[in-house]
Amino acid sequence: MKPTSIKNVTIREYRNIHGWIQRHYGKAFSCEHCNTSVGTNFEWALKKGCLYECNIDNYIQLCKSCHVKYDRTTETNKKISESLRYRVRKKESYLKSSQTQKGRPVPIERRIKISNALKGRPSGAGKAVILYKDRTSISFPTISMASKTLGIGVTSMTNALNNRSRSCGGYKIQYLSSLEKRKY
């Protein structure tokens, strides 16, 4: 990359250069100002008056607090806040695009994905059901509880619930909610 002053460096260049330093020299491990290597909060800092370029002599290792004092000039502060703003903007535009998606027909690939995700989950899971046999009825808060208690498979219950079969394990079955609907 071409040498760039702190004033003109783009966020991309800034990130690239820090990536380059990390790749070649690893993480900063000491502070050249307070001469300590205790702790882990060390960063590579651009030396004052130096350009951003792939030359390690242009950088020094500093601890976080020295780094802040050393080069958080108005320029870098601006860069950092810009970078943060950029992130926020990305999120906003994502939200906006998801808004425009509203009401649009769902593409077939997505529909397949959704239906695959729902597979294995019986439709009506979590709904209360009522089962009948010989003029007695028994209700359960969920299909799976009915299945466990009566020893009837969930699939055979959902088949009966969706009128794919007439009964399950000798029981007639329906959703409790459909019973209530009929009452009113």
- The least CB distance from residue 92 to Zn ion, in Å, is 37
Radius of gyration of the CA atoms of the chain, in A:
32
- The least CB distance from residue 37 to Zn ion, in Å, is 10
- The least CB distance from residue 49 to Zn ion, in Å, is 20
Task: Please answer whether residues 137 and 156 qualify as being in contact, where contact means their C-beta atoms are separated by less than 8 angstroms.
Answer: no
**Residues in the site for Zn ion, rule: CB under 5 A?**
31, 33-34, 63, 66
**Residue (33 or 133) nearer to Zn ion, CB:** 33
* CA dist., res. 124 & res. 119, Å (int): 12
**Residue (5 or 65) nearer to Zn ion, CB:** 65
- The least CB distance from residue 73 to Zn ion, in Å, is 17
Q: Is the torsion defined by CA of 115, 119, 121, 122 positive or negative?
A: positive
Nearest alpha-carbon partner for 142 in 156, 160, 130? 130
User: Residue 52 to residues 21, 127, 182: CA-CA distances in angstroms?
Assistant: 11, 63, 75
**Residue (31 or 131) nearer to Zn ion, CB:** 31
